[in-house]
Amino acid sequence: MSQSCNKAVGKSLRFACTVLSVLLLGFPLWAQLPPAQKLSVEDEREFKKELERLETLLPTANSKPAIELQIAKTYAAGGQYPDAIERLRKLVGANLGFDPSRDPDFAKLQDTAEFRSIMDEVRRQTPPVHNSRPIMTLDVRDVRPENIAFDTNRNALLLGNTARFEIVKCAVAGGCVPLVNPKPGENSYALGLKLNQGADEVWATDNTPEGASLRCYDLKAGKLLRTASIRGKHVFNDLAVSSTSAVYVTDTAEGSVYQLSPGTTAFQKIAPQHTFTAANGIAISPDGRLLYVSTWEDGIDVIDIWSGAVAPMIHPGDVCLAFIDGLYAIHGSLIAIQNGPMLPRIVEFRMDPSQSQITAMRILERRNPAFNGITTGVIVHDDLYYVANPQTDKQGATKLRPLQIFSARITPR
């Protein structure tokens, strides 16, 4: 209650002031936008240098919105809060699917009226879209799958584990059993997981502090059939298997794509002259001619496997290709799972007949209440199976929620 109310002597006046105070509690009281911070001479020099670098990248960037976001983050990190808000308004105004509340660099702004206004616009632009149905709930011990695969011969889902290297097999009819058990004392984990169904085998990426490798296992008994390793600072992330049994894998740490040809154990770097920034999801065109590589902030790079040529995916200005995790090619489209600073969503990017240009976009799933760290999935016939809540960010947690598996229908054009 205010000081004037405390000094009021009339009972009716005290009662009126009490009612007014209670009513005021019902209104949101947002924090004031902090003023721009004064930087030291050295900090201001570094701050301006970074802004100039980003502004130089902007005109030719394959994913301009990601650079705009980085500029806003730089303003926020430099304490230039009014400028950060102005940049965020511009970015969100483009209606590309960004959610600034997911980025910790804007934490000091989140309680301000200006930021709340931006988030109101985000919610207005991104209503829920549901084209998925739940198909399985898996209560498996301490499994945090970054990637999954599906064995159509046995009607079973395969899960990798980011907590340690293992592969778990879960039948659609019910019940999970180990396919590949972790080795005691082994300091490694699995990220990518893909089937070569024709050969009845599964490929998995294996990462350790000493390097990275691909491991191939028999689907029936989990027997190790083949392994290929590379030492040094590498993180094998996602992979794709061609109809000729060639395996392609993204190396996030090095910014590379490697090929492992059938019958060999030596990796060949694809397009070694090119840097695939933070290479992540990867998919192969149905004709086996093109590779699509998610380069996180940079969008999608398209590799012509036959010539080794690399080009950015051409796309309309109102379509954002940044921050793609899982990536899949089907029916002349790319199916992508976007996360990071994007509002988590599953989207279909439709391509022209050349398969190297996006012409349209369709949201398949957004604001699913079950989403909790969605990353990747697997194409099963005309559906995308995915783990809605892989909980890969909860390493070390002793209690996890049961994994919820959903299926999103992909309608052929």
Q: Tell me, what CATH number does 388's domain have?
A: 2.120.10.30
Q: 2: burial class by Cβ within 10 Å (0-12, 13-18, 19+)?
A: exposed
> Could you say which of 105, 125, 145 is where a domain stops?
125
Domain identity same for 287 and 239: yes
Domain identity same for 147 and 3: no
> Could you say which of 125, 151, 181 is where a domain stops?
125
How many domains would you assign to the chain?
3
The candidate with the shortest Cα–Cα distance to 361, out of 128, 95, 87, is: 95
How far apart CA 342 and CA 102 sit, in angstroms, is 8
Q: Which amino acid makes up residue 86?
A: E
The candidate with the shortest Cα–Cα distance to 162, out of 346, 384, 370, 397, is: 397
Residue 294 tokens, joined: 């998610």
Contacts of 370 (CB under 8 A, 6+ apart): 134, 388, 389, 404, 406
Count CB atoms within 10 A of the CB of residue 201: 19
The candidate with the shortest Cα–Cα distance to 193, out of 152, 159, 227, is: 159
> Could you say which of 96, 125, 154 is where a domain stops?
125
Domain identity same for 101 and 147: no
For the range 256-260, what are the long-range contacts, defined as Cβ-Cβ under 8 Å and sequence gap of 24 or more? 257/282, 257/291, 257/293, 257/303, 258/230, 260/214, 260/228
Q: How far is CA 217 from CA 27, 140, 266, 321, in A?
A: 60, 21, 18, 33
How far apart CA 392 and CA 337 sit, in angstroms, is 15
37 HSE (CA, 13 A, CB side): 16
Domain identity same for 177 and 278: yes
Domain identity same for 342 and 395: yes
At 345, is the secondary structure helix, strand, or coil? Answer: strand
pLDDT for the residue numbered 21: 43
Overall residue count recorded for the chain in this entry: 413
Domain identity same for 197 and 254: yes
Domain identity same for 111 and 135: no
What pTM, to 2 d.p., does this model score?
0.90
Residue 109 tokens, joined: 């702004």
pLDDT for the residue numbered 395: 62
Residue 299 tokens, joined: 């969008």
Domain identity same for 49 and 158: no
Domain identity same for 260 and 377: yes
Domain identity same for 251 and 213: yes
At 376, is the secondary structure helix, strand, or coil? Answer: coil
Domain identity same for 245 and 154: yes
Count CB atoms within 10 A of the CB of residue 43: 13
**DSSP label at 33?**
P
pLDDT in tens, the chain (413 residues): 444 444 444 444 454 444 434 334 444 556 899 999 999 999 999 999 999 999 999 999 999 999 999 999 999 999 999 999 999 999 999 999 999 999 999 999 999 999 999 999 999 999 999 999 999 999 887 898 999 999 999 999 999 999 899 999 999 999 999 999 998 888 999 999 999 999 999 999 999 999 999 999 999 999 999 999 999 999 999 999 999 999 999 999 999 999 999 999 999 999 999 999 999 999 999 999 999 999 999 999 999 999 999 999 999 999 999 999 999 999 999 999 999 999 999 999 999 999 999 999 999 999 999 999 999 999 999 999 999 999 877 666 567 889 999 999 998 76
Count CB atoms within 10 A of the CB of residue 246: 18
Domain identity same for 182 and 100: no
- Encode 216-233: b = buried (16+ Cβ within 10 Å), e = exposed: bbebeebeeebebbbeee
pLDDT for the residue numbered 87: 97
How far apart CA 387 and CA 402 sit, in angstroms, is 10
Query: Given phi > 0 = left and psi -120 to 50 = alpha, else beta, which region is 138?
Result: beta
How far apart CA 63 and CA 273 sit, in angstroms, is 21
Tell me which residue range forms the domain holding 1: 1-29
pLDDT for the residue numbered 358: 98
Q: Which amino acid makes up residue 240?
A: A
